[in-house]
Amino acid sequence: MPAHTAPLQLSADAMRAIGERTLDIALRHFADNRDAPVARTLPRATTEPLLRTPLPEQATPINALLDQLERDVFSNALRTDHPRFYAFVPSPTNFVSVAADMLTSAHNLFLGHWMASSAASQVEITTLDWLKELLGYPEEAGGIFVSGGSMANLTAIAAAREIRLGGADRAAIVYCSDQTHSSVGKGLRVVGFHADQRRTVATDADLRLSIPALEAAVRKDRAAGLKPFCVVANAGTTNTGAVDPLGQLADFCARENLWLHVDGAYGAAAVITTRGKALLTGIERADSVTLDPHKWLFQPYELGCVLVRDGSVLRRAFRVEDHDHADYLTDVVRHVKQDVNFFEHGIQLTRSFKALKLWLSLRAFGLPEFRRGVEVGFEMAEHAERVLRADSRWEIVTPAQMGIVTFRLAGGDAARTDAITTRTVDLTREDGYALVMSTMLRGRPALRLCPMHPATTRAEIEETIARLGRFSELAASQAATRA
């Protein structure tokens, strides 16, 4: 590092040099991404000697560190922003948001209360208002940006319990389908629900929460003197993209006085498109919704969001009570009672300027560009389905919906097909052209494609499926040799 006097301070020239170097690395990532292997995972035995160093009592030239990061760290990972990353829920980004993240860190604004960040808090409020409007939520709705879907689900559950039950209640029951994301169960456990306070409701043939099964479960619990209080529905399950019958669920929850939370961590963003809006009809009637901009709104991690239909809910649930003695915040609360202090709307006190990247990219590109991006996801999953249907070796397990299609080899012995499916995933990952994973559907593995990158091409989808075919044949012949 260049010489300096006060600790940790750099000259403008030194900062510029670091900035230019890091910008080069970031630009190279964007330029080379498509041609780089989509997945590289090192064994711990390799990462330890590569990256284990003693506590740094000595300074190291930053260029050497940046070289190492580029060579050893960033390249040995799954590239969730790669145009051929079709596993889990991809996170393609955009450069405007990347630049925004740098500004967020550079300014390090404190978004916990209004006094510290009045204008930035206004940017967060404006961005939340856009999401509310897109969902079809009323003016009085509210929300808060959090780190991701898990935190958004947890925040919604905690708020629902506080508002409807006034705190922990051993008789309260929550209903989720068997396709619900694991973060919901984790959130329930973290806020103190016991396993016997959660009902896993069966799904129908399309893996959507079954209303008759839900009605029966609620009836049974009421008869047993328990307190049904919340239904968690899916707006795009991670497994297959299934959307639960949101309108019917809203009717049922209104009739039964149940809180309706919709987990649209990845899928709710599709409301920005005409077809997504139609698929998600009813979401606007949910009491709370999880929507992660770091999934289908093309934002870098960590940006999740929870929205509530009644904006007063968060403040009531996450108020800081007098007996909790936030004494050193007295002046803040005294001055700005009428303004939005986000620390009173969620779990965190210290928060970064989370909305900046979404605000900047939405304004810089305009919403139509995001719509086009989401449309690509729908179209690529549909194209994959068409290609698979044209090849008699494959059978579709669930058709393309909300950008996800699942499939496996057709016919044959189930146990043998399942083993081939699993081996095909391994061979595809080793190949490195595209990343495709399996998921368990009704107890059996199925291959799953979730192509969300706005720059994915039809040719890439076709080549990926061709390779899956070759790897399945290889896996089958390996299995035959072993038998």
Ligand X SMILES: Cc1ncc(COP(=O)(O)O)c(C=O)c1O
- Least distance from ligand X to the Cβ atom of residue 98, Å: 18
- Least distance from ligand X to the Cβ atom of residue 269, Å: 11
Environment class of 68 (CB within 10 Å of its CB; exposed 0-12, middle 13-18, buried 19+) = middle
275-295 residues labelled b (16+ CB within 10 A) or e (exposed): ebbebbebbbbbbbbbbbbbb
Q: What number of helices (H) and strands (E) belong to the chain?
A: 17, 11
- Least distance from ligand X to the Cβ atom of residue 238, Å: 4
Quick one: 97 or 153, whose CB is closer to ligand X? Answer: 153
Quick one: 79 or 113, whose CB is closer to ligand X? Answer: 79
Q: Which helix (H) or strand (E) holds 232?
A: strand 227-234
Quick one: 113 or 198, whose CB is closer to ligand X? Answer: 198
**Alpha-carbon torsion, ordered 144, 145, 149, 155, to 10 deg:** -30
Quick one: 150 or 348, whose CB is closer to ligand X? Answer: 150
Residues 6+ apart with CB under 8 A from 87: 78, 435, 436, 437, 448, 450
Quick one: 148 or 377, whose CB is closer to ligand X? Answer: 148
Quick one: 91 or 341, whose CB is closer to ligand X? Answer: 91
Quick one: 116 or 435, whose CB is closer to ligand X? Answer: 435
Rounded to whole angstroms, the Cα distance separating 277 from 289 reads 14
- Least distance from ligand X to the Cβ atom of residue 82, Å: 17
List residues near ligand X by CB under 6 A.
89, 148-150, 153, 181, 183, 238, 263, 265-266, 292, 304
Residues 6+ apart with CB under 8 A from 296: 89, 266, 267, 269, 270, 374, 377, 403, 452
- Least distance from ligand X to the Cβ atom of residue 360, Å: 21
Rounded to whole angstroms, the Cα distance separating 390 from 381 reads 14
Rounded to whole angstroms, the Cα distance separating 409 from 471 reads 11
Tally Cβ neighbours within 10 Å of residue 313. Answer: 23
- Least distance from ligand X to the Cβ atom of residue 286, Å: 14
Quick one: 299 or 456, whose CB is closer to ligand X? Answer: 299
Rounded to whole angstroms, the Cα distance separating 383 from 377 reads 10
SS3 call for 435: strand
Q: Identify each DSSP E strand in 34-178 by its residue range.
A: 142-146, 172-177
Instruction: For residue 1, give the amino acid letter.
Output: M
- Least distance from ligand X to the Cβ atom of residue 304, Å: 5
- Least distance from ligand X to the Cβ atom of residue 161, Å: 18
Strands 444-449 and 404-409: antiparallel
Quick one: 109 or 289, whose CB is closer to ligand X? Answer: 289
Quick one: 296 or 342, whose CB is closer to ligand X? Answer: 296
Environment class of 254 (CB within 10 Å of its CB; exposed 0-12, middle 13-18, buried 19+) = exposed
Rounded to whole angstroms, the Cα distance separating 144 from 304 reads 9
- Least distance from ligand X to the Cβ atom of residue 335, Å: 35
- Least distance from ligand X to the Cβ atom of residue 77, Å: 16
In this structure, are residues 84 and 315 in contact, taking their beta carbons and an 8 Å threshold?
Answer: no
Q: What stretches of 345-449 show up as alpha helix (H) in DSSP?
A: 356-365, 367-389, 414-431
Quick one: 153 or 424, whose CB is closer to ligand X? Answer: 153
- Least distance from ligand X to the Cβ atom of residue 123, Å: 22
